[in-house]
Amino acid sequence: MHEMSICQSIVDLIEEQALAESFDRVSRVCLEIGVLSCVEPGALAFGFEVSTRGSIAEGATLDIVDVPASAWCFGCNQTVEIARRGDDCPRCQGARLRVTGGEELRVKELEVV
């Protein structure tokens, strides 16, 4: 379950920021997770609670913002939105697509006290 190490990375990142931005308590963590990223939000939420125990983000609310997936369709010559990898183009039903977005895995912002 790599979500645990991802959560650990989030905690590391928060603690780095705490030094840089001078805060010592985090009440909310907002993440942007692409729908094509290799992360399962449920597992992430579980891992987050475990990983933040004893850290300055203990008890913080976790907000996950889904970032939709986009792909370049070679048939339509334009960017289209897809639901998952391997989907056909929703416009022309072509299969020649290259994923261009939706793999994000970012900490967007923190609400600190």
Partner 1 sequence: MCTVCGCSTSRPSASPTAEEGHEHSHAHAHSHDHEHSHDHAHSHDHGHSHAHTHSHDHAHSHDHGHEHPHEHGHHDDGCRLLDRQPAPSRHPLAAAIPNTADGAAGVTHPGHRRDSTLDYGKGPAGVHVAGVSQRRLVAIETDILARNNRIADRNRARLEAQSTLALNLMSSPGSGKTTLLVETLGQQPGGDVAVIEGDQQTANDAQRIRATGVPALQVNTGKGCHLDASMIERALTQMALPPRSLLFIENVGNLVCPAGFDLGEDAKVVILSVTEGEDKPLKYPHMFAAASLMVLSKIDLAPYVDFDMQACEAHARRINPDIEIIRLSARSGEGMPAWLDWIAARRESLRHKALAQAKVSLDVVEDKSV
CA 110 – CA 13 distance, rounded (Å): 11
Taking CB under 8 A as the binding criterion, the range among 13-21, 50-58, 59-67, 75-83 that sits at the site for partner 1 is: 13-21
Question: Nearest-CA neighbor of 62 among 12, 13, 20, 109?
Answer: 109
DSSP character string of 1-27? -THHHHHHHHHHHHHHHHHHHT---EE
77 touches partner 1 by CB under 8 A: no
1 touches partner 1 by CB under 8 A: yes
Taking CB under 8 A as the binding criterion, the range among 2-10, 45-53, 54-62, 75-83 that sits at the site for partner 1 is: 2-10
35 touches partner 1 by CB under 8 A: no
Q: Which is nearer to partner 1, 2 or 53 (CB)?
A: 2
